[in-house]
C-alpha cells in the first residue's frame, strides 16, 4: 500500500472519529446561538485564525448560530500599564472596575471597531 493511500485512510478515519465525538454536541446545540470570544492573542496567529474561521463555518453549516465577539486583552493591558492601572484577573477573567472600563472602551471603540 502506498504512503499516499495510507495517509488518505488515516485522514478519513480521523475525520470519522472527530465527527463521531462531535455529533452529540452538534445535536445539542443545533439551532442555538453560541458566543465565541476570539481574543487578541489568538488574532495574531494567522494559522490559528484560519482554523478558527473554518470551525465557525463548520458550526454554521451544522445549524449552530455562532456570534463572534472580539477581544483586545494584550492591547488593553499595554494601555493600562501606560496609565499606571494594574490589570486585575480572577480565574483567568478580567475584573473590570470603572477606571479599567474607560481604558477598555478607549481601546475597543477607538481602535478595534474602526
Over residues 46-70, the pLDDT tens digits come to: 888 889 999 999 999 999 999 998 7
Residue range 12-26, pLDDT digits in tens: 999 999 999 999 999
Residues 26 and 40 placed together within one structural domain of the fold: no
| Secondary structure (3-state) at 76 | helix
Contact between 104 and 111 under an 8 Å Cβ cutoff? The reply is no
Cell numbers linked to 53: 474561521
pTM of the model: 0.62
Domain tally, the chain? 2
Quote the domain boundaries for residue 63.
33-112
With a cut of 90, say whether residue 42 has pLDDT above it: no
Same domain, 22 and 48: no
Whether residue 68 is found in the same domain as residue 99: yes
**8 or 17: whose pLDDT is higher?**
17
Decide: 50 and 40 in contact? Cβ < 8 Å: no
Please tell me whether residues 11 and 46 are part of one structural domain: no
**pLDDT value at position 10?**
83
Amino acid at each position: 500500500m502506498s504512503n499516499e493511500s495510507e495517509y488518505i485512510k488515516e485522514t478519513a478515519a480521523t475525520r470519522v472519529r472527530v465527527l463521531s465525538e462531535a455529533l452529540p454536541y452538534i445535536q445539542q446545540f443545533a439551532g442555538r446561538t453560541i458566543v465565541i470570544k476570539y481574543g487578541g492573542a489568538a488574532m495574531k496567529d494567522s494559522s490559528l485564525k484560519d482554523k478558527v474561521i473554518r470551525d465557525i463555518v463548520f458550526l454554521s453549516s451544522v445549524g449552530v448560530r455562532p456570534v463572534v465577539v472580539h477581544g483586545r486583552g494584550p492591547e488593553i493591558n499595554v494601555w493600562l500599564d501606560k496609565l499606571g492601572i494594574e490589570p486585575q484577573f480572577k480565574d483567568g477573567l478580567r475584573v473590570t472596575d470603572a477606571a479599567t472600563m474607560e481604558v477598555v472602551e478607549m481601546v475597543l471603540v477607538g481602535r478595534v471597531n474602526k
